[in-house]
Amino acid sequence: MKSTRVLGMIMAGGKGSRLLPLTEVRSKPAVPFGGTYRIVDFVLSNFVNSGITALHVLVQYRSQSLIEHLRNAWQIGGRSKDNFVSVVPPQMRAREGWYEGTADAIYQNLNLIADFRPDIIAVFGADHIYRMDIGQMVRRHLETEADVTVAVLPVPVKEATGFGIVETEESGRVVGFQEKPAHPKPMPTRSDYALSSMGNYLFNTETLVPLLKRDASRQGPHDFGRNIVPDLLANYVVHAYDLSCNDIPGLRPYEEHAYWRDVGTLDAYWQANMDLLGETPILDLRNADWPIVSGRYDGPLPSLIRSRIDDSMIGQSSQCVDAEIRRSVIGRGVRIERGARIEECVLLDDVHVGPHTRLRRVIADRGAVIPGQTRLGYERERDAAHFHVSESGLVVVPHPSIDMEPGSLRRAS
């Protein structure tokens, strides 16, 4: 029996403007996460763990950091033509300019689809934190004889106004799509929940290619969620695949079964990092049966010298001397000097925290240098005069390459 050929097209070109200043020097999928990973590692690991290893990663804005990461961490090809992670910048084959939406990104790379000759094209985003066996979604797609399958997740109706909401029959067939509706339609079997689109799709190739060509001839945006999928409902079989039905091996009883987070804001990004912590984290990445893979880092174990560490993760090569660290995610190569106190912080690689510094609910970008005696996270108005402060009061110390007001860290001390 012929096996189903699946080609993954990973949308990794987003600006991530709501994550500024973390996305000032990199695209959203390249933002570090969890002390070891990049956000893009989650979707790629899901594909590879699912046995789908033909993957094109479509990049665009501020892509150099992402390209370097993919080159170093995701060389899976060998000599097989069906095993690859390929970086695809805008080729401008179909028109001049950058991608004008997710559908246009696929349209401009129809040659890649023609070369691989897939039965199914998996169009997935690269900017969410989650685990998913995509093979189960593919099997459901084949069983329902769908032309298109949309990955969805139940969300409380009261929280659904910020999502694209999918309306289905009890069979799972999609009969409606609402983009951020004021009054979301609930699920047919759960009146207090609605189905949120995850922005991940499976398309039969014979369905998708003609649609993209037709869409390209129209004026306006070219987006799957806003244009392509809603227009399919009248003439094609579109089914929803519920992530809460997806089974991941090695999942522990205390974890959130269908963990999925859009880390598109600083507060959501910080909270997702906090979700990794504790004795029973709701997202436990110590799962050998479903590993999240990232780049290799050659460095020694962290050094903890006369320090008090509680409910935290400390990356390789980091050194903490006479420091107190509570409920924080510390990256690799971080140096925290004597007398420093770190609380509910996310410090990316190579951050240097000076002596007797007090940091509370701070995100420090890679390579940031925080002088001794600095206090951040205690006086919102004072912090906001020198740094970006999120809606909940998170203070973000930017990458050292970003121009800052001279002496701003010293004045915040």
Q: Using one digit for the tens of pLDDT, what is the confidence trace for 151-173?
A: 999 999 998 888 889 999 989 99
pLDDT at residue 405 is higher than 60: no
For the chain, what percentages of helix, strand and coil (3-state, to nearest 5) are there? 25, 25, 50
CATH of the domain at 131: 3.90.550.10
Q: What is the mean pLDDT of residues 379-394?
A: 96
pLDDT at residue 71 is higher than 60: yes
Query: Considering 234, 262, 290, which residue would you say is the last residue of a domain?
Result: 262
Residue stretches of the annotated binding site: 99, 164, 179-180, 197
What is the domain extent for residue 75?
Answer: 6-262
| CA nearest to 17, candidates 61, 48, 49 | 61
Least confident stretch, 70-79, 88-97, 343-352: 88-97
Same domain, 58 and 178: yes
CB-CB contact of 132 with 248 (8 Å): yes
Question: What is the Cα–Cα distance from 86 to 76, expressed in whole angstroms?
Answer: 10
Structural domain contains residue 89: yes
Q: Using one digit for the tens of pLDDT, what is the confidence trace for 170-196?
A: 899 999 998 888 889 999 888 899 999
Is pLDDT larger for residue 94 or for residue 320? 320
CB-CB contact of 149 with 283 (8 Å): no
What is the domain count for the chain?
2
Q: Using one digit for the tens of pLDDT, what is the confidence trace for 213-223?
A: 988 878 767 88
Question: What is the Cα–Cα distance from 373 to 358, expressed in whole angstroms?
Answer: 7
Question: What is the Cα–Cα distance from 181 to 279, expressed in whole angstroms?
Answer: 38
Q: Using one digit for the tens of pLDDT, what is the confidence trace for 233-257?
A: 989 999 999 999 999 999 999 999 9
Q: Using one digit for the tens of pLDDT, what is the confidence trace for 196-216?
A: 999 999 999 999 999 999 888
Q: What is the DSSP string of 245-297?
A: G---TT--TTS-TT-EEE--SHHHHHHHHHTT-SSS-SS----TTSPPP----
CB-CB contact of 367 with 386 (8 Å): no
Query: Considering 239, 262, 285, which residue would you say is the last residue of a domain?
Result: 262
pTM, full prediction: 0.94
- pLDDT above 70 coverage of the chain, percent: 95
Same domain, 69 and 143: yes
Q: Using one digit for the tens of pLDDT, what is the confidence trace for 306-318?
A: 999 999 999 999 9
Question: What is the Cα–Cα distance from 376 to 357, expressed in whole angstroms?
Answer: 8
pLDDT at residue 413 is higher than 60: no
Residue stretches of the annotated binding site for alpha-D-glucose 1-phosphate: 99, 164, 179-180, 197
Structural domain contains residue 138: yes
Same domain, 312 and 165: no
